[in-house]
Amino acid sequence: MDSKPTLKDVAALANVSVSTASKALHHTERISARTQRIVFAAAESIGYRKSNEGRPTRAHSGLIGLVTSDYNGRFALPMLNGAESTLGASNHAALLMSSRGSPSLEKSHIDQLAAQGVDGLIMIQDTTGPRDALSLSETRGLPVIYAYAPSSDEDDCSIICDNVGAGFQAIEYLLSLGRRRIAVIAGTESFQASKDRVEGALRAFRYYDEQAVDIMYDIWSEEWGEHAALSLLDRFGDVDALYCLSDEIARGAIHGIMQRGLSVPKDVAVIGHDNWFVFSTNSHPTLTTFDNNIETIGKISAQYLIDAIHGHPHHGITTVECPMIVRESTEASRKTPLQGSGKIFSHNSKRRGR
């Protein structure tokens, strides 16, 4: 097909009237599920994209659907809180459903949300690797925002953490403290979060003409952090800082350092990642760490979804800065902490891509 496919092409292929095809694609009226599926399949097969020009005005339900793959709620609840605070201002309510990481449950939840008449969807992941883009027929043509993990289709709108920026900032900060023998203890190598944070760290080492003592990968556990720290101290007696890619790893690393009779941060400074209170503030030394800023991701996702619902969609990946929160594990003699929550370093969001 040479020219851009039109609504007429979709209608002809689906063997329905142009008016029915339009109603099905824009959810303006109740159309049978079978007809809707046929029209979406036809639209998809010829690469038809809805234009916002001339789009029939549709009554908004005021409902937004959130579907999360997060099982324990660490990501879903802050995301919901952020989204609610933005949606409340525009009289929308958020309907959170839980897919427990099951693609088939995710699909049936989207169907159920579409049946409830939601105006749009926010898909929440609990890991940072790109996820499969949803097809037009899967989303029933509803606008979608991908939160925490990006969509595999870069034309989609995704809101994610700036893990590369966090990795850069971690190393830059440790260097500013005068540390020169810095090692990185990462989690699972195949995880995007490991890749991005390590990439950021390496950029900082190069930028400041320094080198990492070592970069070790294994799993996201406290035991691994302890094992890795012991191994590093045994091989490089002069290690003076550890950048750990999760709070659990950092907590284990601190135990390892203490087992060797060394102190944190005097002998070895330690940085974690995630600002998970269980590990970052519930023990001593409290952890310097990066906050994933999930609530802000929820807010921006909701704002961008409202924009899309009103015919002004965003595209590409938007990254949100993870603020670094400085606590006892890197600063020996702290002044009074800010409300016990540590100092927050810079906090804003920026745009990457288009």
3-state DSSP assignment of residue 207: helix
The interface region with its own copies, picked from 43-51, 63-71, 143-151, 156-164 by CB under 8 A, is: 63-71
- What part of residues 75-94 is at the interface with its own copies (CB under 8 A)? 75-78, 80-81, 84, 88, 93-94
Give me 301's structure tokens: 């996702």
CB burial string 154-177: b at 16+ within 10 A, e below: eebbbbbbbbbbbbbbbbbbbbee
Give me 156's structure tokens: 């989609």
Contact with its own copies (CB under 8 A): which of 152, 221, 231, 341? 221
Kindly state whether residue 72 participates in binding its own copies, applying the rule CB under 8 A: yes
3-state DSSP assignment of residue 147: strand
For residue 23, give the amino acid letter. Answer: K
Of 240 and 328, the one with the shorter C-beta distance to its own copies is: 328
Contact with its own copies (CB under 8 A): which of 18, 63, 213, 258? 63
Contact with its own copies (CB under 8 A): which of 235, 260, 284, 352? 284
The interface region with its own copies, picked from 12-20, 65-73, 259-267, 315-323 by CB under 8 A, is: 65-73
Contact with its own copies (CB under 8 A): which of 156, 196, 222, 321? 222
* Residues 56, 27: Cα–Cα separation, whole Å: 9
3-state DSSP assignment of residue 195: helix
Asked if 204 and 167 touch (Cβ cutoff 8 Å), the reply is yes
The least CB distance from residue 277 to its own copies, in Å, is 8
Binding residues for its own copies, rule CB under 8 A, total: 36
Task: State how beta strands 343-345 and 144-147 pair.
Answer: unpaired
Residues of this chain that interact with its own copies (CB under 8 A) are 62-63, 68, 70-78, 80-81, 84, 88, 93-98, 100, 112-113, 116, 221-223, 248, 277-279, 282-284
